Amino acid sequence: MSFLFLFLLSLAPLFHSSSPLPYPYNTSFHIDCGSSTPSTDSYNISWLPDKFFTGGSTSVVSEPLHFHLQHEKTLRYFPLSSGKKNCYNIPLPAGRYYIRTFTVYDNYDGKSHSPSFDASVEGTLVFSWRSPWPESLTRDGAYSDLFAFVKDGQLDLCFYSIATDPPVIASLEVVQIDPLSYNSAQTGDSYILVNYGRLSPGSSQWGPGFTSDPDAFGRSWQSDSDYRAGKSESAKVITTKEKITGTEKAPNYFPMKLYQSAVTIEGRLEYELPVDAKLDYLVWFHFAEIDSTVKKAGERVFDVLVNDKNVSRVDIFKEVGSFVAYSLNYTEKNLSSSVLNVKLSPVAGAPLICGLENYAMVPADLATVPEQVVAMKALKDSLCVPDRMGWNGDPCAPTDWDAWEGVTCHTNKNGTGLVITQM
């Protein structure tokens, strides 16, 4: 008995030194838009009452019992009397952030008209909602997320009304992430990565907001079953409870759970992911050999093809062995179709995949030159500009919005920023 005790004691420091360092980024906000009280949800996430908004009003979905989380029931909307442009301006340290919104209509205003509006992050257009919304979005709502750099110490998430529709938001979450994640050492800090699919093959939806499974970045992962194409619909699911090594590591902190399930099929495994044309897409593939009957290199080999281009040949065991995470990424440039097709084509054995992520790489739009932003904010305060003028966020960006009523902007001489040319 005492021997066992000593044995455990001597092992303890060993475990300690081999465990990963704690997640070093500690800025996060979970804002329950439209709510006046703080709350903690069933996944132990603490929600702040609504704050940091420039205007608008609050409301509640028409059928609160249809929504199981408190933050999904209350919302903030921005009627035209608040101006065409409204924002959440959140002070936070310069860095990179995961930003997630929950958007729902559920006929909160009794008008049976889902609204058309745009949303921007740091002056770049990221989401466009157009009426009529699909039935599931109208009634159940949807989470949308992206990764963005915030360089000026304040996150600007802005909404722009189309026609006279009031933009609406039910919750806003912001989690600081590693600035080097998702390949930014190569791509730089001027892209916003907008989530077009983050799949966990062989699992149902999990992660923050859906289950209590952790993900340091706050990412949630969805089932792949709706995206499998052709014969792949009948692919076999494999799961394991074994520990997978090489997970939860800087800079991407991919969670272990991602690699504990997979799908596999005799033959070709195929996915079709919906996309919008004319953008570049960053695709991440996640693998782990979690089938213990595969015991050596060469037993499971397959080629990964994106839109029929051969990206890489994969032999998971040869690269990392068993029960170890192995990830790859690929950028598909200037997509011309509305579908991104991924095929795992067998060379030996059956292809297998644990995770698939697809992000649109949205280039950051030009912003108003900093001196003018400061000057315009001072002018707005001294003039007491009425709310309906919508003088919120960047005066000129995004460039395709008529951002501040009565203010005309142009690109400066060397094309590095926007300047106000007329008021």
Ligand X SMILES: *[C@@H]1O[C@H](CO)[C@@H](O)[C@H](O)[C@H]1NC(C)=O
Please, what is the minimum distance in Å from the beta carbon of residue 72 to ligand X? 20
Question: Of the two residues 240 and 412, which places its CB atom closer to ligand X in the complex?
Answer: 412
Question: Of the two residues 27 and 37, which places its CB atom closer to ligand X in the complex?
Answer: 27
Question: Of the two residues 26 and 382, which places its CB atom closer to ligand X in the complex?
Answer: 26
Please, what is the minimum distance in Å from the beta carbon of residue 116 to ligand X? 27
Question: Of the two residues 13 and 24, which places its CB atom closer to ligand X in the complex?
Answer: 24
Please, what is the minimum distance in Å from the beta carbon of residue 176 to ligand X? 9
Please, what is the minimum distance in Å from the beta carbon of residue 65 to ligand X? 26
Binding residues (CB under 6 A) for ligand X: these are 24, 26, 44, 46, 183, 186, 303, 310, 312-313, 327-329, 334, 336, 412-414, 416
Measured distance CA(315)–CA(296) in Å, rounded: 10
What is the strand order of the sheet 236-239 is part of? 236-239, 261-264, 352-353
CB 291 within 8 A of CB 261: no
Question: Of the two residues 137 and 419, which places its CB atom closer to ligand X in the complex?
Answer: 419
Measured distance CA(196)–CA(150) in Å, rounded: 21
Please, what is the minimum distance in Å from the beta carbon of residue 338 to ligand X? 12
Number of neighbours of residue 282 by Cβ within 10 angstroms:
19
**Alpha carbon 317 to its chain's center:** 30
Please, what is the minimum distance in Å from the beta carbon of residue 96 to ligand X? 13
Question: Of the two residues 242 and 303, which places its CB atom closer to ligand X in the complex?
Answer: 303
Please, what is the minimum distance in Å from the beta carbon of residue 359 to ligand X? 13
Please, what is the minimum distance in Å from the beta carbon of residue 142 to ligand X? 27
Task: Name the amino acid, one letter, at 25.
Answer: Y
Please, what is the minimum distance in Å from the beta carbon of residue 5 to ligand X? 27
Question: Of the two residues 56 and 355, which places its CB atom closer to ligand X in the complex?
Answer: 355
Please, what is the minimum distance in Å from the beta carbon of residue 329 to ligand X? 4
> SS3 string of the chain?
CHHHHHHHHHHHHHHHHHCCCCCCCCCEEEEECCCCCCEECCCCCEEEECCCECCCEEEECCCHHHCCCHHHCEEEECCHHHCCEEEEEEECCCEEEEEEEEECCCCCCCCCCCCCEEEEECCEEEEEECCCCCHHHHHHCEEEEEEEEECCCEEEEEEEECCCCCCEECEEEEEEECCCCCCHHHHCCCEEEEEEEEECCCCCCECCCCCCCCCCCCCCEECCCCCECHHHHHCEEEECCCCCECCCCCCCCCCHHHHHEEEECCCCEEEEEECCCCCEEEEEEEECECCCCCCCCCCCEEEEEECCEEEEEECHHHHHCECECEEEEEEECCCCCCEEEEEEEEEECCCEECEEEEEEEEECCCCECHHHHHHHHHHHHHHCCCHHHCCCCCCCCCCCCCCCCCCEEEECCCCCCEEEEEC
User: Token pair for residue 298?
Assistant: 């060469």
Please, what is the minimum distance in Å from the beta carbon of residue 218 to ligand X? 14
Measured distance CA(320)–CA(318) in Å, rounded: 6
Question: Of the two residues 204 and 416, which places its CB atom closer to ligand X in the complex?
Answer: 416
